[in-house]
Structure 1
Amino acid sequence: MRHAEFASDVPDAPFSSDKTLLAALAADLQSLNYTADGVAGLIGVEAWESLENDQLIPALLACRQADALAGNQPTAAVMLWLLGETVPEAHLSRAFAGTTPGGLGRLGLAERHGADGWRALVALRPYSSDAGGDVWVASDLGQHQRPGVLRRDHVLGIGQASRTLAQLTVRPAVDRALDLGTGCGIQTLHLLGHVRHVTATDISARALAFTRFNLLLNFERLGLDPDDLGNRVTLRQGNLLDPVAGETFDLAVSNPPFVITPRHPAETAESQFTYRDGGLPGDDIVSTLFKELPGVLTPGGTAQLLGNWEISSSAPWHDRIQSWIPATVDCWVLQREQLTPSAYALTWLRDAAETRDPDAFVDRYAAYIDDFRSRNVDSVGFGAVLLRTHEVPHTGHPASQQAAPTPEVPLRRFEEITHPLEQPIAPHFAAGVGRYDWVVKHAEGLSEQHLLVADDVTEERHQRPGAEHPGVILLRQGAGFRRTNLLSTELAGFVSACDGDLSAGQIVMALSALLGQDDDAFRSALLSDVRRLVLDGFLIPAAAS
C-alpha cells in the first residue's frame, strides 16, 4: 500500500514550515559566501580538505586567526556548524542580521549555550552539487563535533559513501527516479539536475524532515516551487520498497543501511542506528535489494546502489552475489575493498563513536566477531552495484565471469578494483554498459567490425637485458577504471593493428598466417580476447570514435 506523502516538521530536526525565515537564512548564507569555495578561501584549502576528512583542528586554528586579524563574520558559520564551537551572540548577530540568532533557534539550527553563547543543534554544510551548484545541507552533528555515542536516529551528513554514490550514478535525462533511503537528501539534490520527478523514501521521519528542510532552503538553486514541492519531489516514510509498492521508476539509487550488524533477541528499532542498520541479519538488506529493486524499474531502467556482502574463503567473493540476481537482469558489481571481521567491527564501532564507552565497546566487538563466526564469514566486501532491466527480457543461463556475452545471456560482470578511479566514474559506467550492448549486437559479426585503440590507452613492454622479445606486454588505461591487461603476443599484435582500416577478421587472418596458426580454434580464441578488450574499453568501435 502506498504511504502518504511526508510533509511535516519533526521534533529535534530542522523546521521547514517558516518559508520567510528560510529565505532570510539563504540570503545570509549567500552574503557570507558560505560555499565550499568560500570556506576554502577563508580557512585555506589544506584546512578545508582536512575538514572534509573530519580533522577539525586546522580549520579551528584558521578561524581563530581570521577573527584575530579582522573579526571575520563568515567564521561564525564555520565555527558554529562545521566545528561545533560555541559562538558569542554578538558575533552571530552580525553574521546573521536577517535571520538573527533567535531565528536560527526557531529553525532548529542552534540553541543558547552558557551566558552569552550559541551552539549548533545540527551541522549545516556548504556543498557543490551538479544539480544546483552551491547548496547547503543540514544533517546531524558528527562524532567529531559532539561528545558521546551518536543518537540512534542519527541523520548522516555528506560522507564518503554519499559522495561515492553520487560519483558513480549514471545520469540520463529521465522522467522518474527513486532515492531509496534518502537520509538528508544528498542523492535527491543530484537527481534533480536530470530527473523530472524524484520520490525520496526513508524509514526515519527525522531523515525526511532534514531532506525537506534542505530542499526548501535551496529551492531557488534547485528550481523548485516552495509552495508546490510535490511537483518535483515526493517524500514518503516507510521501509525499503514498501512506500513505492506498485510504482515503477526509470532510475533508482540507494545508499541503504547496509552495515552488517549482530542481531540479538531483545533488540528494538529504537536500539538500532537507523542510518546504517537495516535490522536484518548478515547481508540480507543488500541481497533483498538485489532481488527486489529490478521490480520497481521500468523496462530498460537502471538501479545503482552501494553495499556490503559476506565472503567465505571457500568460494569466490562474488559467488553468493550471483545467486541474488534475477535471471533476466543485467548486473555489474565493482568491489572496492575487503575487510576482515575484526577490521570491519572496529570500523563501524568507531563510526558511531561506540568506542567511547569502554565496557559496551568490548561487548559489542565480541558480538560482531561471534556473529561473523556463526556464518563462517572470512571477510566483508564493499562496493558498487549496477542493475538494469531490459526492453525484451533475456533468456538462458547466466554467463560465467569469463564467458563472452550473447543476446541470450544478460550481463554478469564482477570486478575487484582497489586502486583510485577517475572521478566521477559514472560516464565510464555508462560507456561500459554501452560497449556491452554493442558486443551483444555484434556477437555474430565481430570479425566484420573495425576497431580503434582508445585514446587513453598506452602499452608497456618489459624484457630481460639482452632478450630478443619482451617477456611481459601490458596495456594500461589512463582514465576511467584505469585497468591493466596482460597481453599475449598475438593479442598485442592485434591491438597494434587497430587503426580502423582493417576489420577485426582481416587482422586475425593476417596474424594467423604470420604466426603459423591457421586453425579455427586460434582465430576463435583471439576474437574472444578482442571481445574482452572491447568490453573493458581498451578497444572501441571505429564508428563510435
Structure 2
Amino acid sequence: MTDPATPTIPGTTPTTPDAPRSDLHELLTALAGDLRNVGYTVDGVAALLGESAHTALARDQLIPALIVTDPAALNGDSTTDRAKAALAVVVRLWLLAVPQTEDDVDAALPGIRTSGLAVLGLVEKNDAGAVAAKVDVRPYGWEGDSGADSSGSGGAELWVASDLAAHQRPGVLRHDHVLGIGQASTTLLQTTIRRHSKRALDLGTGCGIQTFHLLHHSDHVTATDISARALAFTRFNLMLNAEALHLDPADLESRVSLRLGSLLEPVAGETFDLVVSNPPFVITPRSAGEHASEQFTYRDGGLPGDDIVATLVRTLSDVLAPGGTAQMLGNWEITAGTGWSERPASWLTGSGTEAWFIQREQVSPELYAETWLQDASEGRDRKLYRDAYVAYLEDFASRNVESIGFGMIWLRRPADGAVDAGTVRKEARRRFEEITYPIEQPIGPHLAAAVERADWLDTHELADAYLVVAEDVTEERHQRPGAEHPGVILLRQGAGLRRTNLLSTELAGFASACDGELSVRQLVGALAAILGGGADFDDEAFRAGLLDDVANLVRDGFLHAAG
C-alpha cells in the first residue's frame, strides 16, 4: 500500500525493479526504530565483532566476523547474551549475507518483522525457507563534517542500502549494480570543502552518500544519476534516515530533488554553488554495437577513454554560479612521452575556469585492467576475464596509453566572471601536482585553507605583509660529517598535504626570521644586504626571486600572515 503523503520524485517510482521501496513511511519508521533498538550502529557492530574481525570486515574479509557471530558462540541466558545474539542475526543477514531463520529475524526486528522487510524489498525467502538479503543494509555514521558552518553538522547514526557487493554474492555483478560506500566515495567525502551553500548538486549520486553530507551544509541538494535503480536506492536511504537528516518525508522536494539523466542534462539551465561528483570515470573498452545495458553503470560512463572526465571538466562551469566550485574524482590517460598533467591541462584550453588537479596514483594498463576486472568479479568467469583483459590492453594500446592517473579535481568559476577565455589571474589558478604519499584526512579543510591563501595572495601586496611560520612546520638540516654548513635544508609540514620544501640559503634565512616583527620587504632587504655586495650580484633579480619563493611558501601553507 502506498503512503499518499509521500510524493513520488521525478526519476523514480515506488516500485523500481529490484530496488527497495521508499513509499511506505510506516514500515520505514518501524525499520529505523528496530535497527536502533537492536544496536545496529557503527559502534554497536564494532563492539560485537571486536577489533580484529571488524578490521577484517572493512577489507571485505568475512570469515573472522562469521566466527565471532556464530550462534553457538553467542548462546546464553542473560539479557546481554540475548541482545548480542539479536544483533548478530542482523549482522549476519546483511553484512555477511548469511540467510537467517524467520523466527530469528522476527525476534531481532519485532517492529517490522520478516514480512515487512519483504514488502520493502530488502529480503526474500530462499528455497530452504530461510530469510536471505536482497540488498546490503549497513550502519553509517560520522562525527560531523569538518568545516561545515553552524547550520548543522552534528554527528548522526544512519543506515545505507545498496546492492550486495562481490564478496557477499556469487557470480559477476549485475550491470545496473548500485554501489555502496566504497573507497572512492569516502575519498570524495574527505576531499570536499564544506561551506554553506544555497544550492548543491550531487552528480552521479549512486546510493546517495554524498547527498547525506551535502544536506548538512546546503539549503537544497539536487541528486542526479543515469540509473533509475540508483535514484530509487537514494530515495530509500533518504526516507529511512529522514529524522536524522532533518527531512520531512511528506515534503522531501523542499530539501532534495532527484533527477534521472546523463551528466548535466537533468540540470540544464540551472546553476549551483557547489557540485560534487564521483562520476563513472573508469576507462573501459568499448565494442562495436555495445548497448548501455552491457556496461556497469556505476563505473562506466559509456564514452571512450577518459572522455567522461574530460567532458565534465570542460562543462561543469556551465552549471556553476559565479564563485561556485566543483570537486570530483577522475582518471586520465597518460600517453608515452608526455607528462601526466598534459592531458588534464588540455581540457581547460579556452576556459576561464580555475583548476587544481592532484594526482594520487599512477598505474600501468595491466594493473588497471586487473583492478577493475576484480572489482566486478569478472575473474570468476575465466574466458570472460581473459577476453576482457585483452580488450583493455588493446584499447589502451590503440591510443598509445602508457599509464593511467587517478586523483582529485577542484574547479571554480571566477566570482566576477571577468576572466577572459584562456587566461587566469595567476599561475596558481591552474595547478597540477602529484602527491602519492599519505596525507591528513579529512583533507577538505586543508584544501579550503589553500584556496583562501591563494585568494589572499591575489588581493594583498605580499611585500607589505608580516609573516609567521605555521605551527605544524618543522625544519631539517642535513650535512656531511665535518662540513661547516648544511648541504640540505628542508621545511616539512606535519598536517594537511604534508609537503616538503627544499630551501635555498636565503629562503632558509627568511623563514627562520619570520616571527611577525618585520615585513616581507624588510626581511628581503636585510638578506639582500647580507648576501649581496659582489660585482656580479643582481640585487633586483635576487629580490624578485626571493619574493616569488616566499609567495610559494605562503601558497603551500608553510608561512601565513601574522595575527
Task: Provide the residue aligned with 2:498 in structure 1.
Answer: 482
Q: Tell me if structure 1 keeps the 8 A contact 2:479–2:487.
A: yes
Q: 1:436 is matched with which residue? A: 454
Q: Which residue of the other structure, out of 30, 43, 47, is the alignment partner of 2:36?
A: 30
- Equivalent residues in 2 for 1:333-348 (5 A)? 333-348=357-372
Aligned to 2:169: 146
Q: Secondary structure at the match of 2:106?
A: helix
The SS at the match of 1:227 is helix
Distance 1:172 1:156 in 2: 27
Match of 2:91 among 78, 83, 89: 78
Aligned partner letter, 1:117? A
Measure how far apart 1:90 and its partner are.
1.7
TM-score, normalization by structure 2: 0.92
* 1:98 matched to 2:111: yes
For 2:547, the equivalent position in structure 1 comes to 527
Say whether the 8 Å CA contact 2:66–2:96 is kept in structure 1. yes
2: distance between equivalents of 1:513 and 1:466? 29
State the distance in 2 between where 1:146 and 1:74 align.
21
The question of 1:223 aligning with 2:241 is answered no
Which of residues 259, 263, 269 is equivalent to 2:282? 259
Cross-structure match for 1:402 = none
Contact 2:462 2:520 in 1 (8 A): yes
The answer as to whether partners of 1:396 and 1:408 remain within 8 angstroms in 2 is no
Corresponding position of 1:309: 332
Match of 2:101 in 1: 88
Tell me, in whole angstroms, the C-alpha distance in 2 between the residues paired with 1:133 and 1:66.
31
SS at match of 2:167: coil
One-letter amino acid of the structure 1 residue matched with residue 19 of structure 2: A
Say if 2:66 is the partner of 1:60: yes
Question: Given that residues 398 and 409 in structure 1 are in contact (C-alpha distance below 8 angstroms), is that contact kept between their aligned partners in structure 2?
Answer: no
For 1:40 and 1:305, how far apart are their aligned partners in 2?
Answer: 31
Please say if residues 457 and 538 of structure 1, whose CA atoms lie closer than 8 Å, have aligned partners that are also in contact. Answer: yes
Please tell me whether the aligned partners of residues 166 and 173 of structure 2 are also in contact (alpha carbons under 8 angstroms). Answer: yes
Question: 224-233 vs 388-397, which deviates more?
Answer: 388-397
Q: CA deviation at 1:266?
A: 2.2
Whole-angstrom CA distance in 1 between matches of 2:124 and 2:504 = 67
SS of 1:228 mapped into structure 2: helix
How far does residue 407 in structure 1 lie from its aligned partner after superposition? 3.8
* 1:507 corresponds to: 523
* Shift in CA distance, 144/31, structure 1 to aligned 2, threshold 3 Å: same
Secondary structure of the residue aligned to 1:378 is strand
The structural deviation recorded for 1:24 is 0.5
Structure 2 matches for 1:114-133, cutoff 5 A? Answer: 114-129=127-142, 130=144, 133=156
1:17 CA drift (Å)? 1.2
Displacement of 1:397: 8.2
Cα 1:8–1:395 change in 2 (3 A) is same
Matches of 1:396 and 1:175 in 2, distance apart?
Answer: 27
Report the CA distance between 1:68 and its aligned residue.
Answer: 3.7
Match of 1:248 in 2: 271
Distance 1:194 1:251 in 2: 11
Shift of the alpha carbon at 1:6?
A: 3.6
Q: Is the 8 A contact 1:398 1:412 kept in 2?
A: no
TM-score with structure 1 setting the length: 0.95
Q: Is the 8 A contact 2:11 2:231 kept in 1?
A: no
Matched, 1:165 2:171: no
Q: Distance between the aligned counterparts of 2:554 and 2:433, measured in 1?
A: 16
Paired letter, 1:497: A
2:316 is the counterpart of 1:293: yes
Q: State yes or no: 1:39 paired with 2:45.
A: yes
Instruction: Write the distance in 2 (CA, Å) between the matches of 1:4 and 1:78.
Output: 33
Equivalent position to 1:381, from 392, 398, 405: 405
The Cα shift of 1:40 comes to: 0.3
Separation in 2, partners of 1:20, 1:105: 14
Residue 134 and residue 169 in structure 1: after superposition, are their counterparts in 2 closer, same or farther (change >3 A)?
Answer: same
Distance in 2 between the 1:533 and 1:223 partners?
Answer: 42
Going from structure 1 to structure 2, the CA distance change for 1:245 and 1:397 (only over 3 Å counts) comes to: closer
2:431 alignment partner in structure 1: 413
Distance of 1:228 and 1:10 partners within structure 2 = 20
Corresponding residue SS for 1:221: coil
User: In the alignment, which residue of structure 1 is the partner of 2:150?
Assistant: none
Alpha-carbon distance change, 394 to 492 in structure 1, aligned in 2, over 3 angstroms: farther
Greater shift in the superposed pair: 321-330 or 467-476:
321-330
Give CA deviations for 1:57-102 in whole Å, capped at 9, x if unaligned. Answer: 1211111165245351001111011111111222111101001111
Distance 1:100 1:252 in 2: 39
Q: Is the 8 A contact 2:358 2:435 kept in 1?
A: yes
Give the secondary structure class of the aligned counterpart of 2:372.
helix
Task: Map 1:529-544; keep pairs closer than 5 Å.
Answer: 529-543=549-563
Which moved further from structure 2: 50-59 or 185-194? 50-59
Aligned residues: 533
Mapped partners of 2:64, 2:561: distance in 1: 50
Q: Comparing 109-118 with 243-252, which one deviates more in the overlay?
A: 109-118
Q: Distance in 2 between matches of 1:323 and 1:394?
A: 21
Secondary structure at the counterpart of residue 128 of structure 1? strand
Matched, 1:235 2:294: no
Cα distance in 2 for partners of 1:381, 1:449 equals 38
Distance 1:58 1:381 in 2: 35
User: 1-side partners of 2:285 and 2:425: how far apart?
Assistant: 42
Q: Which runs of 5+ in 2 are unaligned?
A: 1-8, 145-152
Alpha-carbon distance in structure 1 between the residues aligned to 2:100 and 2:451: 51
What is the CA–CA distance in structure 2 between the aligned matches of 1:461 and 1:274, rounded to whole Å?
52
- From 301, 307, 316, the counterpart of 1:278: 301
SS in structure 2 of the partner of residue 289 of structure 1: helix
**Other-structure match for 1:360:** 384
Structure 1 contact 512–518 (Cα < 8 Å) conserved = no
Indicate the SS of the match to 1:282: coil
Which 5+ residue runs of structure 1 have no aligned equivalent? 400-405
Task: Classify the secondary structure of the residue corresponding to 1:219.
Answer: coil
Take 1:88 and 1:455, find their aligned partners in 2: how far apart are those partners?
A: 57
Distance between the aligned counterparts of 1:152 and 1:21, measured in 2?
Answer: 29
Query: 1:471 pairs with 475, 487, 509, which one?
Result: 487
Find the residue that maps to 1:222 and give its secondary structure.
Answer: coil
Q: Does the 8 Å contact 2:428/2:454 carry over to 1?
A: no
The alpha carbon displacement at 1:50 in A equals: 1.8
